[in-house]
Amino acid sequence: MVPNFLLRFRAILRAWMNSAKSLAAAGMLAVPISASVAASPAWPPGSVRMLVPAPAGGASDMIARLLAEKLSARLNRPFIVENMPGASGTIAARALVGSAADGSVLLVGPSGLATEVPHVMKLPFDPLKDMVQIAELSRSPMVLLANAALPASSLEELAQYARANPGKLSVASYSAGTRSHYAAELFTSKTGANVVHVPYKGSPPAIVDLVAGHVSLAFDVTPNVLGHIRTGKLKAIAIVGDKRSPLLPNVPTFAERGYAELNSHAWIGMWVPRRTSEATTRLIHEEVKAAWDTAAVREKLRSLGFEPAPDRTMVQQQSDLNAQFESNREIVHRFGIKLN
């Protein structure tokens, strides 16, 4: 006969073992749940800095402030715009590349920062390797503009007038080494006209001089000039791009008139450091898309002179970025473009 104390001990031991098995089973279930939570991407707590490589009031600044407003409302946290102009945008870009790669610092700026500037400046970083494009936020068609008094209102008339008056016309770009400069070189090369290139330090002074007649022509984007076109202070001769802009539906594209090379598009996008995890990068992309892809935002963009960006994946965006980079490299090499 087994003593009672042994029976009681066996019962206690059996109960303890059953309890241990239950805890082990629960622990096994808890492991994937905890791993899932740990792997879930999240922005760090606190405010998010949104760097803009341009002064307040410019195209990139307008887009950044609108996006900051939408993201702040959606995520209930402050998104703070910091303007960091200078050195063709590389001051802000360098600050981004050196920042914490956790989504706490973003950059909103023009495509030229990654596709144009590297060809004419020696940079302490590589925009294609050290930055990741999160989203394309807007497009800005580039327009060939003429002073209102110029006796030409079409590409054909302008080309004919320029050839008949060699050296008389001048064309402004908002900066040497940018796509406005590239467009000017392609235009003069295609027409065979002797037109003097005049680089400026930014769009505002170039447009002021164009309206005043100090320069004859200029290439600039619609947000900077749409008001002058609508009031008749400037003539819109042609659009750089592969299709007409709904903002200027009566203005033909260069491609329509036989200038196939003048078909690139400018855009404003968002970047994070390349070191940012794939999960966090994807989260930011999805949150930006949800905040930005609304009828209200699209209408606001058009009112400011922008076109909404097409809905594309990050892979498609990167492919377009790489193609523009290579196209600009060829143009810079062909015309020997350098910063003055």
> Quick one: pLDDT at residue 238?
96
**pLDDT: which is higher, 107 or 19:** 107
| Rounded CA separation 85/319 (Å) | 27
Residue 12 has pLDDT above 70, yes or no: no
Residue 7 has pLDDT above 90, yes or no: no
Residue 27 has pLDDT above 50, yes or no: no
> Quick one: pLDDT at residue 339?
67
> Quick one: pLDDT at residue 37?
30
> Quick one: pLDDT at residue 14?
55
Residue 11 has pLDDT above 80, yes or no: no
Interhelix angle for 278-292 vs 59-75, to 10°? 100
Domain 142-257, CATH number (from 3.90.1720.10, 3.30.110.30, 3.40.190.10, 1.20.1260.10): 3.40.190.10
Residue 13 has pLDDT above 60, yes or no: no
Q: Report residue 242's pLDDT band, with 50, 70 and 90 as the boundaries.
A: confident
Mean pLDDT of 240-248: 89
Q: Report residue 337's pLDDT band, with 50, 70 and 90 as the boundaries.
A: confident
Residue 324 has pLDDT above 90, yes or no: no
Counting Cβ atoms within 10 Å, is residue 33 exposed (0-12), middle (13-18) or buried (19+)?
Answer: exposed
**pLDDT: which is higher, 153 or 17:** 153
| Rounded CA separation 14/8 (Å) | 10
Q: What percent of the chain has pLDDT over 70?
A: 87
How is the chain split into domains, by residue range?
Answer: 48-140+265-335, 142-257
pLDDT digits (tens, 9 = 90+) for 57-114: 888 999 999 999 999 999 999 999 999 988 778 899 999 999 999 999 999 999 988 8
**pLDDT: which is higher, 194 or 63:** 63
Mean pLDDT of 223-234: 94
Check if 48-140+265-335 and 142-257 are the same fold.
yes
Q: Report residue 54's pLDDT band, with 50, 70 and 90 as the boundaries.
A: confident
Backbone angles phi, psi at 153, to 5 degrees: -125, 5
N residues, the chain: 340
Residue 302 has pLDDT above 80, yes or no: yes
The set of residues, in sequence order, having a beta carbon less than 8 Å from that of 61 and lying 6+ positions away, is 52, 54, 55, 81, 83
What does the H/E/C string look like for the chain?
A: CCCHHHHHHHHHHHHHHHHHHHHHHHHHHHHHHHHHHHHCCCCCCCCEEEEECCCCCCHHHHHHHHHHHHHHHHHCCCEEEEECCCHHHHHHHHHHHCCCCCCCEEEEEECHHHHCHHHHCCCCCCHHHHEEEEEEEEEECEEEEEECCCCCCCHHHHHHHHHHCCCCCEEEECCCCCHHHHHHHHHHHHHCCCCEEEECCCHHHHHHHHHHCCCCEEEEEHHHHHHHHHCCCEEEEEEECCCCCCCCCCCCECHHHCCCCCCCCEEEEEEEECCCCHHHHHHHHHHHHHHHCCHHHHHHHHHHCCEECCCCCHHHHHHHHHHHHHHHHHHHHHHCCCCC
Looking at CATH, the fold of the domain delimited by 48-140+265-335 is given as: D-Maltodextrin-Binding Protein; domain 2 (3.40.190)
Instruction: Round the average pLDDT of the chain to a whole number and report it.
Output: 85
Residue 152 has pLDDT above 80, yes or no: yes
Residue 31 has pLDDT above 70, yes or no: no
Q: Report residue 33's pLDDT band, with 50, 70 and 90 as the boundaries.
A: very low
Residue 24 has pLDDT above 50, yes or no: no
